[in-house]
A = this chain, B = another copy of it.
Amino acid sequence: MAARRPGYVWLVGAGPGDPELLTRKAARCLEEADLVLYDALVSSEVLPLAPRAQCFSVGKRCGGRGVRQETIQKLMIRAARRGKRVVRLKCGDPFVLGRGGEEAIALAVAGVPFEVVPGVTTAVAAPALAGVPVTHRGLASGFAVVSGHDERAYEPILRSLPPDSLTVVVLMGLRTRNRLAATLIEAGWAPATPAAMILGASTASPHAWIGTLDTLATAPLPAEAADPPGTIVIGRVVSLSSILAPRAESSASAHAAGERRTGG
């Protein structure tokens, strides 16, 4: 009689959106999964990679609302105890502002074997795909990533960063961009510091706004987006987007060269 297969959970980063930016390991975990619990922002194109699995949206936007955290944890633990191979698929990287640590602790405490599969974090990839390197010699030799969701969390950090000392990346900060910009300007950052706001990075409909710290507050959101997820980048590196942002002709030449699967 074959021994019963033990359950297992992978906490997997899905990357910034494009299914091509999943890791090879993430794809293999999905291939083997019996159950996939995915965040609302994970692309639906990813799910066909898990042909054997039942897939449930747990409705969370990155770091945001949805199915209660405790419920997600219970679902994972229960399924693993029944011998299921579970993929918990999270936007970006599981440990960057996504409560992945809480999910990992719940699994550890429950004695469920699990593994973290790091992903491409939106904090770095969204700027990159809009032509903004988060570090660049002579402009920024480091970067800070904060959540714009809670003023009490980001304010002490932003107030303390010496102007222009590093690049500031804010996730979940579109709604609070007015306050974020004011905090940095009050802390001595020049109002003319370059700033960018990036939505839908690596998806079929990307949107990048490039401006300055003092115009960030009034930067227009695309019409359909009331409280959309997005990435804000502040710092001198943003100026490089004028040179590095992908151009229509460069994608066109990738296509002309027969590059379809990896283009875009």
Q: How far is the CB of A151 from chain B (nearest CB, A)?
A: 11
Interface residues on A, range: 35 or more
Is the beta-carbon distance between A5 and B118 smaller than 8 angstroms?
no
Is the beta-carbon distance between A21 and B25 smaller than 8 angstroms?
yes
Q: How far is the CA of A230 from the CA of B262 in the complex (A)?
A: 31
Within 8 A of B (CB), among A132-181: 133-137, 141-147, 150, 153-154, 156-157, 160-162, 165-166
Tell which of A27-35, A204-212, A216-224 binds the partner: A27-35
Contact A166 to B144, CB < 8 A, known contacts A6-B257, A24-B27, A133-B100: yes
Q: How far is the CA of A244 from the CA of B94 in the complex (A)?
A: 13
Q: Mark A7-39, 1 if CB is under 8 A from B, else 0.
A: 010100101101111111101110010000000
Is the beta-carbon distance between A101 and B141 smaller than 8 angstroms?
no
Is the beta-carbon distance between A125 and B133 smaller than 8 angstroms?
no
Q: How far is the CA of A32 from the CA of B262 in the complex (A)?
A: 10
Is the beta-carbon distance between A156 and B145 smaller than 8 angstroms?
no
Is the beta-carbon distance between B25 and A24 smaller than 8 angstroms?
no
The yes or no answer to A78 lying at the interface (CB within 8 A) is no
The yes or no answer to A66 lying at the interface (CB within 8 A) is no
Q: How far is the CB of A154 from chain B (nearest CB, A)?
A: 7
Q: How far is the CA of A13 from the CA of B141 in the complex (A)?
A: 18
Is the beta-carbon distance between B19 and A24 smaller than 8 angstroms?
yes
- In the complex, which of the residues B5, B100, B154, B246 contacts A257, with contact meaning CB atoms closer than 8 Å? B5
The yes or no answer to A263 lying at the interface (CB within 8 A) is yes
Q: How far is the CA of A254 from the CA of B153 in the complex (A)?
A: 37
Q: How far is the CA of A13 from the CA of B121 in the complex (A)?
A: 12
Is the beta-carbon distance between A128 and B116 smaller than 8 angstroms?
yes
A interface with B by C-beta (< 8 Å): 5-6, 8, 10, 13, 15-16, 18-25, 27-29, 32, 85, 93-97, 99-102, 104-105, 108-109, 113-121, 124-125, 127-129, 133-137, 141-147, 150, 153-154, 156-157, 160-162, 165-166, 237, 240, 243-244, 246, 249-250, 253-254, 256-259, 261-263
A-B contact pairs, 28 of them (CB 8 A): A20-B25, A20-B28, A21-B24, A21-B25, A21-B117, A24-B24, A24-B27, A93-B125, A95-B124, A95-B133, A100-B133, A101-B135, A101-B244, A102-B136, A105-B243, A108-B244, A113-B250, A118-B128, A119-B120, A120-B120, A135-B145, A141-B146, A142-B145, A142-B147, A143-B144, A146-B166, A157-B161, A160-B160
